Amino acid sequence: MAESPGQERTERATAKRRMEARKQGQVALSREVPSALILIAVLGVFYFAGSRVLEDLTRLFGEFFGQLHTTRLRTVNDAAALISALFRSCLLLLAPMVLPLLVAGVAGNILQIGFEIHAEPLAPKLSKLNPLAGLKRIVSMRGLVELVKSLVKVLFIGAIAWSVVSGYLADFPTLVRRDIAGIWEFTHTAAYRILFYVCLATVVLAVLDYAYQRWQHEENLKMTKQEIRDERKQTEGDPQIKSRIRSLQRQAAYHRMIAEVPTADVVITNPTHLAIALRFDPAEMNAPQVVAKGADYLAARIRDIAREHGVPLVENQPLAQSLYRLADPGDYIPVELYRAVAEVLAYVYRLKGRYAV
C-alpha cells in the first residue's frame, strides 16, 4: 500500500492490512527465539544424556579401533563399507540428541507466528536479483540495526563465556596430572557451566529482540489517514454510493407504503402530526396490521390518500402516539393495544354498517 504524499504513517494497521502483510511473509519474527530454544534443548540433552552418549561413543570407537587390526581391507569398497557402518552407528547414537534440537528450532518459529504456509513469499521476484536493491538493504537503517545487534550479541555472550572460563584458568595446569576420567569430569563441569550461562544470556537477548521485532513490525504496518479511508471505501463501499442506495431504498419503501393506504380499514391520527393506517381481515389475520405510518408531511399525505379512497380517519392522540412508537409498517399491533384498536375498529365498522366476524 503506497504512502500518500505529505502524510505520515500515524495510524495503527487495520485487520485487513495485517492479513495482507502476513500473506506476504511480513511478520514479527525474532531469530533469537529459536536460537534460545535450541540452546535450552542442548543444555537439557547435555545434562540428561551427555554422559551416556559419550560412553556409547567411547565404546563404539573402542570396538572399532580394537578390531581394526583384524579387519582386512582389500579394496576401496571395503574401506568405504567400514566407514559407512561407523557413520551409521554414530548417527543412531546422536539421533536422540539431534531430534530435540530440530523440534526446538521449529517450535521457536511456530510459537511466534503460528503454523501457516504461504506461497507468495517463495515466488521468484526479479527485484530480489537486483544488486543495487540488495546493496540498499545492506546499507539501510535496518541493516545497520541488525549489524549492531549482532555485535552486541557477540560481545555480550563472549563476555559471559569469558567470565565463566576465567574462573577455571587456574585449574588448567593441573589437568596434566589427572587421568582421563578426571579430565572428562573437569571438562564436563566447565562446559556445562559455560553453556548454562550462555543459555541465560541468549534467553535475555531473545526476549529483548522479540520485543524489538514486535515494535518494528507495528511501525512498518502503520498507515496514513488517507490509506485508512481508502481501505474503508474498498471494504464497505463508497459512502456516497451507499447513501444513494439507502435513499433509493427509502423511496421504494415510501411508494410501497403509500400504495397500501387505500387497502386500510382506518387511519388513526394525532390529529395533524401523526397518521397510522391499519388493516384487519379476520379470515386471514390474528391481529390488525400497520400498513403505513408517517409524521408531519408524510402523515398529511396518508390522510389525503385515505380521504380520496374513503378510508375513515379517527382521531385518537394517545393511541396514535403508541402505534407510531411501537409498530412499523408490516408489523401487527402490540398485544397491549388490542383493546384500544378493537374499540376503534368497532366504531369504524358501525359507521360502515360492517361487523367483524
- State residue 128's pLDDT score: 56
Pair 101, 37: CB distance under 8 Å: no
- State residue 2's pLDDT score: 46
Between 82 and 321, the more confident residue is: 321
Q: Is 340 helix (H, G, I), strand (E, B) or coil?
A: helix
- What is the topology classification, in CATH, of domain 251-352? name from scop (3.40.1690)
- Lookup: cell for 215: 515494535
Q: Predicted confidence band at 9 (pLDDT cuts at 50, 70, 90)?
A: confident
- Lookup: cell for 178: 589427572
C-alpha gyration radius of the chain: 42
The backbone region for 56, taken as left when phi is positive above 0, alpha when psi lies in -120 to 50, beta otherwise, is alpha
CA distance 145 to 343: 84
Residue spans of beta strands (DSSP E) within the chain: 266-269, 274-279, 289-295, 313-315
Over 60: is that where the pLDDT of 242 sits? yes
Whole-number Cα distances in Å, 40 to 31, 54, 104, 113, 197: 15, 19, 8, 20, 11
What does the domain layout of the chain look like in residue ranges?
29-113, 126-222, 251-352
Between 182 and 260, the more confident residue is: 260
Q: Predicted confidence band at 153 (pLDDT cuts at 50, 70, 90)?
A: confident
Edge-to-edge strand order for the sheet containing 313-315? 289-295, 274-279, 266-269, 313-315
What are the residues facing 315 on neighbouring strands? Answer: 269
pLDDT tens-digit series, residues 97-131 = 788 888 888 888 888 887 766 665 556 655 555 56
- State residue 25's pLDDT score: 76
pLDDT tens-digit series, residues 22-64 = 877 788 888 888 888 988 888 888 777 766 776 777 777 777 7
Q: Is 126 helix (H, G, I), strand (E, B) or coil?
A: helix
Q: Is 311 helix (H, G, I), strand (E, B) or coil?
A: coil
Handedness of CA 46, 51, 57, 61 (dihedral sign): positive
Q: Is 11 helix (H, G, I), strand (E, B) or coil?
A: strand
Pair 109, 29: CB distance under 8 Å: yes
pLDDT tens-digit series, residues 244-290 = 778 887 888 888 888 888 888 899 888 788 999 998 888 888 888 88
Pair 269, 299: CB distance under 8 Å: yes
- State residue 238's pLDDT score: 62
Q: Predicted confidence band at 154 (pLDDT cuts at 50, 70, 90)?
A: confident
Kindly report the average pLDDT of the chain as a whole number.
79
- State residue 188's pLDDT score: 74
CA distance 269 to 320: 6
Its pTM stands at 0.52
- State residue 357's pLDDT score: 37
pLDDT tens-digit series, residues 127-152 = 555 566 555 655 566 777 778 888 88
List the helix and strand counts (H, then E) for the chain. 11, 4
Question: Which residue matches cell numbers 408524510?
Answer: 298
